[in-house]
């Protein structure tokens, strides 16, 4: 038997098997009362993207929750925070940049290995910068600082990084700023309109590096021009980049909180992270009575399936306050969305 004959027989056998498979499938459909439409190729019956099984939001914790900016408190290490998060049963950890004591590559890779060995995702990087600054050189310095922070997130394998607009700094005391609900006057001779242009121009300079590193920037409602949903959306909707999205902080809206959360959750620009504040033992600057079942409902309504990151800001001991917070968030976000 020559090679051509063998190949011809192989093809005929393949055709016979395919035919018998199709006949068997059609017979099975008929027995089950199915229609001929059900026998169409698989690609025609595959559910559209996003219609898969519903799942719950994963819940992480910010290292901020174990430090809490308490005056005179020991700065708990990032490594300790990762161990605490694993012991308490979180799914991931958000790292607060200013809490880091060593940013050498060896330390970053050690933290990444530690989290992985404990079954935790390093899922967020929370940074500080400001672009509400008249001096172009100072704004440039903040752009360079933020580019460096993107690189740190990349080396940690973190996919999203919280950024801020910055503020006027006309109220020097943060305690006083909080007493005034985050509202401060602009610098003499300048306007918010100017400041929005500074912020937009600065953020646009970050986007090529964010894309190169695969780190989504999340502009947070965090005082300054980002104090309101309107301010955040004015910036991100002006830039229109998939590498600039929104970080929603549930504790930073001091007026019409649920309406503003709804506005951010329903925006065309997606949420990249939700930071959930809790205040067991009373708040450091203030305490909000947040209804997390209602907040979870808002996020489900707008199909947010991403991370919830706890920021415990209460005066209770972090171990008990964080544990209570996790139990409450698990209950509130327990329904698949």
User: What was the pLDDT predicted at 336?
Assistant: 62
Single pTM value for the model: 0.83
Q: Are 267 and 240 in contact (CB under 8 A)?
A: no
Q: For residue 81, give every residue at least 6 positions away whose Cβ sits within 8 Å of its Cβ, in sequence order, or none.
A: 61, 63, 65, 66, 67, 93, 99
pLDDT in tens, the chain (337 residues): 443 443 444 444 444 444 334 434 333 333 333 333 333 333 333 334 445 566 899 999 999 999 865 556 677 899 999 999 999 999 999 999 999 999 999 999 999 999 999 999 999 999 999 999 999 999 999 999 999 999 999 999 999 999 999 999 999 998 899 888 899 999 999 999 999 999 999 999 999 999 999 999 999 999 999 999 999 999 999 999 999 999 999 999 999 999 999 999 999 999 999 999 999 999 988 999 999 999 999 999 999 999 999 999 999 999 899 999 999 999 999 876 5
User: What was the pLDDT predicted at 307?
Assistant: 98
User: What was the pLDDT predicted at 72?
Assistant: 60
Q: Are 246 and 272 in contact (CB under 8 A)?
A: yes
Q: Are 127 and 95 in contact (CB under 8 A)?
A: no
User: What was the pLDDT predicted at 117?
Assistant: 98
Cα 291 from Cα 192, distance rounded (Å):
32
Cα 188 from Cα 171, distance rounded (Å):
13
Q: Give the residue among 125, 143, 310 at the shortest CA–CA distance from 216.
A: 125
Q: Give the residue among 128, 123, 129 at the shortest CA–CA distance from 156.
A: 123
Spacing of C-alpha 309 from chain mean position: 8
User: What was the pLDDT predicted at 284?
Assistant: 84
User: What was the pLDDT predicted at 48?
Assistant: 42
User: What was the pLDDT predicted at 207?
Assistant: 98
User: What was the pLDDT predicted at 27?
Assistant: 36
Cα 158 from Cα 11, distance rounded (Å):
51
């Amino acid at each position: 038997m020559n090679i051509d004959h063998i190949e011809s027989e192989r093809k005929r056998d393949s055709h016979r098997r395919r035919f018998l498979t199709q006949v068997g499938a059609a017979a099975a459909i008929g027995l089950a009362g199915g229609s001929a439409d059900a026998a169409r190729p698989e690609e025609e019956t595959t559910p559209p993207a996003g219609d898969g099984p519903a799942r719950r939001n994963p819940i992480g914790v910010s290292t901020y929750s174990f430090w809490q900016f308490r005056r005179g408190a020991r700065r708990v290490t990032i490594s300790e925070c990762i161990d605490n998060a694993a012991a308490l049963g979180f799914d991931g950890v958000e790292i607060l940049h200013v809490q880091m004591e060593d940013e050498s590559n060896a330390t970053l890779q050690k933290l990444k290995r530690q989290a992985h060995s404990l079954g935790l995702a390093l899922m967020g990087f929370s940074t500080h910068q400001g672009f509400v600054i008249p001096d172009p050189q100072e704004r440039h310095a903040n752009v360079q600082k933020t580019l460096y922070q993107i690189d740190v997130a990349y080396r940690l394998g973190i996919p999203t990084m919280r950024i801020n607009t910055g503020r006027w700094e006309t109220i020097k005391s943060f305690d006083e700023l909080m007493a005034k609900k985050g509202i401060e006057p602009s610098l003499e001779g300048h306007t918010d309109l100017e400041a929005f242009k500074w912020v937009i121009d600065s953020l646009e300079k970050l986007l090529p590096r964010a894309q190169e590193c695969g780190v989504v920037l999340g502009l947070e409602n965090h005082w300054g021009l980002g104090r309101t949903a309107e301010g955040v959306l004015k910036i991100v909707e002006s830039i229109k980049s998939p590498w600039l999205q929104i970080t929603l902080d549930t504790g930073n809206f001091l007026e019409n909180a649920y309406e503003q959360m709804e506005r951010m959750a329903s925006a065309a620009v997606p949420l990249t992270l939700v930071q959930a504040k809790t205040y067991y033992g009373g708040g450091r600057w203030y305490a909000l009575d947040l209804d997390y079942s209602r907040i979870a409902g808002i996020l489900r309504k707008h199909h947010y399936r991403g991370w919830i990151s706890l920021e415990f800001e209460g005066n209770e001991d972090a171990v008990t306050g964080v544990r209570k917070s996790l139990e409450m968030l698990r209950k509130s976000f327990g329904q698949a969305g």
